[in-house]
Amino acid sequence: MAKHLFFDLDRTLWDFERNSETALRQLYEELGLHEIHGSFELFHNTYKETNAELWKQYGNGEISKEILRTERFKATFEKLNIDKSELVERISQGYIELSPRQTHLFPKTLETLNELKRDGYQMHIITNGFKEVQFIKLEQARLKPYFDLILCSEEVGHNKPSRFIFEHALKQTGAHVSESVMIGDDYEVDIVGARNCGMHGILFDPENSKGHLENEFRIQHVTELPEKLTWVLRSRL
Asked if 211 and 176 sit in the same domain, the reply is: yes
Q: What CATH number did the domain enclosing 198 receive?
A: 3.40.50.1000
- Domain ranges, residue 159: 4-15+104-234
Report the candidate in 137, 233, 126, 205 with the shortest Cα–Cα distance to residue 170.
126
Tally of domains in the chain? 2
* Residue 205: active-site member: no
| Whole-structure pTM value | 0.93
What are 9-54's pLDDT values in tens digits? 999 999 999 999 999 999 999 999 988 887 999 999 999 999 999 9
Domain boundary among 43, 69, 101: 101
Residue partners of 156: CB distance under 8 A and separation at least 6 = 164, 165, 168
CB atoms within 10 A of CB 84: 14
Nearest-angstrom CA–CA distance, 202 and 74: 36
Nearest-angstrom CA–CA distance, 232 and 237: 10
Report the candidate in 24, 147, 18 with the shortest Cα–Cα distance to residue 97.
24
Domain boundary among 52, 70, 101: 101
Starting from the edge strand earliest in sequence, which strands make up the sheet with 200-204, in order? 149-152, 122-127, 4-7, 180-184, 200-204, 218-219
Domain boundary among 42, 71, 101: 101
Out of 8, 185, 186, 190, which one is annotated catalytic? Answer: 8
Distance between alpha carbon 131 and the CA centroid of its chain, in Å?
12
DSSP per residue over 58-119, as a string?
HHTTSS-HHHHHHHHHHHHHHHTT---THHHHHHHHHHHHHGGG---B-TTHHHHHHHHHHT
- Taken as a whole, the chain contains a residue count of 237
In order along its 237 residues, the chain shows pLDDT tens digits of 579 999 999 999 999 999 999 999 999 999 999 888 879 999 999 999 999 999 999 988 899 989 999 899 999 999 999 988 889 999 999 999 999 999 999 999 999 999 999 999 999 999 999 999 999 999 999 999 999 999 999 999 999 999 999 999 999 999 999 999 999 999 999 999 999 999 999 999 999 888 777 768 999 999 999 999 998 988 765
